[in-house]
Amino acid sequence: MLRPVSALAAIALAAASLSACGSGTEAGGSGDSVTLGFVNGANTEFHTCLLKAVEAQAGTSGAKVISANSKQDPGTELSNIEDMISRNVDALIVQTVNVDALKNDIAKAKSANIPIFLTSVVTDDPSDILGAMVVDLGKVGALDAEWIAGDAGSAPAEVGVIAGAPGAASDLMVKGFTGALPANVKVVANQPGMFNRAKAQDVAENMIQAHPDLKYAFVANEDMAFGVHEAFKAAGKNVKIVTVNGTEQGLEAVKDGRFSATVANSATDIGQGAVKNVLGLLDKQPIEKISQAPIKLITKDNVDEAPQYCL
């Protein structure tokens, strides 16, 4: 979550509460008189850029946005949704904290006749939601695994996984990654970095001490990957890092070799696409209910082809 997926991710532009985050425009467009509630999942760079894209596209379309941040807590997410319901928004866009907790979130909104549109992930039964802009987070992880498979060839190799926060995008990415590894590449460690650079660096320090022959690391977003790189560098180990996002800083790290590969899943594409689809679906336009956000494996060979990550 990946995007799983982005991830996952934080700049100070991210808003953390309903009271601080309301925004909107009165410009003309298909969103005239529509108020969208956006419940974001965290404060990572992905989430910050997602918020910027949602607000920018809403402004272009003439819609208003009220936003809230769940700070990786399912209970806070439900409280945010309840608050949005009390504000009588026309629709909710949710970047969920935990897929398993979505059932209660959707039920709350449905009982108030407020449709929910999901970003990055979708429930097993989408009949109760307006729609979703989905990142194939399993494929995100698999693309990184495929790069490792090609680089390792038939030689045995050890890989460490530094996941994000349990419960949503990270779990799907890790599952896709581990499932796509060849038999000769063994996962010797799998620990959460909680989408926090300092935490991920600590995890990497412990990981390389326990597994000095580590050759590869899959890291669930680029912000964590920078901390992981510093840990491996300090230990004098040349561990090849594959990661996720495609931020400007991440692409520079691919160019200079700090990262071997990253999977670009543009927060801008997801946020803008979500708003366009919500407004179209509310207007009964022939919009696909579940749409796929584009993803792309980026290496030194094609770094110039990466999409814009953040506005």
Angstrom CA distances, 142 to 5, 77, 255, stand at 12, 29, 21
Q: Which residue type is seen at 290? A: I
For the chain, the residue count is 311
What sign has the CA pseudo-torsion 250, 256, 259, 264? positive
Does this model's pTM top 0.85? My answer is: no
CA distance 90 to 88: 6
Q: Which helix (H) or strand (E) holds 36?
A: strand 35-40
Kindly report the number of other CB atoms within 10 A of residue 281's CB atom: 18
What is the residue whose two structure tokens read 């808003």?
15
CA distance 292 to 309: 16
311 residues of the chain, pLDDT tens digit each: 343 333 333 333 333 333 333 333 333 345 668 999 999 999 989 999 999 999 999 999 999 999 999 999 999 999 999 999 999 999 999 999 988 888 889 999 999 999 999 999 999 889 999 999 999 999 999 999 999 999 999 999 999 999 998 877 899 999 999 999 999 999 999 999 999 999 999 999 999 999 999 999 999 999 999 999 999 999 999 999 999 999 999 999 999 999 999 999 999 999 999 999 999 999 999 999 999 999 999 999 999 999 999 99
Half-sphere exposure of 236 (CA within 13 A, CB side): 0
CA distance 54 to 261: 27
